Chains A and B, each alone.
Chain A
């Protein structure tokens, strides 16, 4: 029964994470690219992004609760806001550090507009975007658990909170170990590998 509960909690947490993280990945890359290329957006939204990045993700929770009430939407808000900006900043810097000669070469070969974006800018920025995605994943994971702690959410965070209420040290420690293991596994097996593969293919790492 115990292990059934744990598995269900893990499943619930991961489903939430998958949803919120996908959202912040798509939004973060789009916003990052826009910030890197559109001057007026950089001038207006740029400082805001940097500033908001300083806010720990739990601090979004009171606001999210006021907006959406105690529920799924509030947790997702925390997850998205916790990881979106990391992806945004990484994407922005990846696009900005593309060697100018590469873009000029692409232009002389007739690549413009959408083709330039899809075939040159995004692939050129990919190693940086993947690093940002990896960072974003860790942030999303942390934010999710912080969000889940607070109410009946059915995830790992809530299980941790249950353990505390029942004075059940074993559950608390057990869940913490699971959190560490899952975080480490997803980071190393999924993102670490992806990052290494991309960097190697792009010729940024040797061997």
Chain B
């Protein structure tokens, strides 16, 4: 159905490969037969309506869940659990409230057994990168949502993972903060050459950031379409071409979203553009 091979880079083994991956919860199928290759250094956005299993895909690559069928491989090795080569950034910052900014960023290094001096140096480098050095001794609850996500970004990057997994990390932020963080994430990515898998339901965000947008369908969750985004970087949020791609993604998603709404709402709901008055007679003579 999906012409995945067209995107497979010839010869080179992909960094991440999902083959025939399915995931079921009890009797319900969350994800059905997903094949996806992600090359090293690629920025891939997973975009789809709620319930399409995009977060499940991310969790499978993170090793937080295991597939019921098929397999996930990173650098040819089967994923069996979380690893230091893959870090995750969540929608809520998931920072530890009892630690300061600096201690939070040092935490993964500490767990990995990095000696204190090196730990401090690396944490400082990354806290400076997200421009929060001034706030290094503050606790998360003293920071704004945007600042917390910056700290979470520093914490995810400080172990210098090959792969950064992002699960709607900016969904809870206001539009302007989000634009700014998009810009910085893009810059960090261009500078570091990391591979990013970015989950979002925001089509504009997907078009703004991704080298490729993976459009996912629902009931059951699956890959519906792969859209390459061949636009020069750095991109701008309100760029015309970004909007065009976003519109394309949205068209792909429309059917899926309607499927979800139809299941969730009463029969009275009708898709946009078809909501003609049911009974024209009811309007005749109105307002006389």
A160 to chain B, nearest CB (A): 42
> What residue in chain A is nearest B90 (Cβ atoms)?
A101
A102, B93: Cα distance in complex, Å? 9
Q: How far is the CA of A111 from the CA of B84 in the complex (A)?
A: 11
From B62, B64, B108, B141, A110 is in contact (CB under 8 Å) with B108
Contact B96 A109 (CB under 8 A): no
Tell me whether chain B's interface is mostly helix, strand or loop, or mixed: loop
Chain A interface size, under 10 / 10 to 19 / 20 to 34 / 35 or more: 20 to 34
A180, CB-defined interface residue at 8 Å: no
Q: Complex: how many Å from CA A124 to CA B98?
A: 8
Known: A99-B92, A124-B96, A202-B98. A107 touches B64 (CB 8 A): yes
Q: Is the CB of A109 within 8 A of B111?
A: yes
Contact present for A123 and B96 (CB under 8 Å): yes
Q: Is B210 among interface residues, defined by CB-CB distance under 8 A?
A: no
Q: Is B87 an interface residue (CB 8 A)?
A: yes
Give chain A's interface secondary structure class: helix
Q: Which of A101, A115, A201, A204 contacts B94 (CB 8 A)?
A: A101
Question: A108's contact among B86, B140, B142, by CB below 8 Å, is which?
Answer: B86
Contact B96 A101, beta carbon cutoff 8 Å: no
CB proximity of B99 to chain A, nearest CB, Å = 8
A48 contacts B by Cβ under 8 Å: no
A110-B111, A111-B111 known; A201-B98 Cβ under 8 A = yes
Q: Counting CB contacts under 8 A, is A126 at the interface?
A: yes
Q: A105-B88, A108-B62, A119-B111 given as contacts; is B94 within 8 A of A202 (CB)? A: no
Contact sample, A vs B, 12 pairs, CB 8 Å cutoff = A101-B92, A102-B96, A105-B88, A105-B90, A107-B64, A108-B82, A108-B88, A109-B155, A110-B83, A119-B107, A201-B98, A204-B97
Q: Which residues does A use to contact B, with CB under 8 Å? A: 99, 101-102, 104-105, 107-111, 115, 119-120, 123-124, 126, 201-204
- 7 A-B pairs with least C-beta separation: A203-B141, A105-B94, A109-B108, A108-B88, A108-B82, A101-B94, A110-B111
Query: Using a CB–CB distance below 8 Å, which chain B residues touch chain A?
Result: 62-64, 82-84, 86-88, 90, 92, 94, 96-98, 107-108, 111-112, 139-142, 155, 159
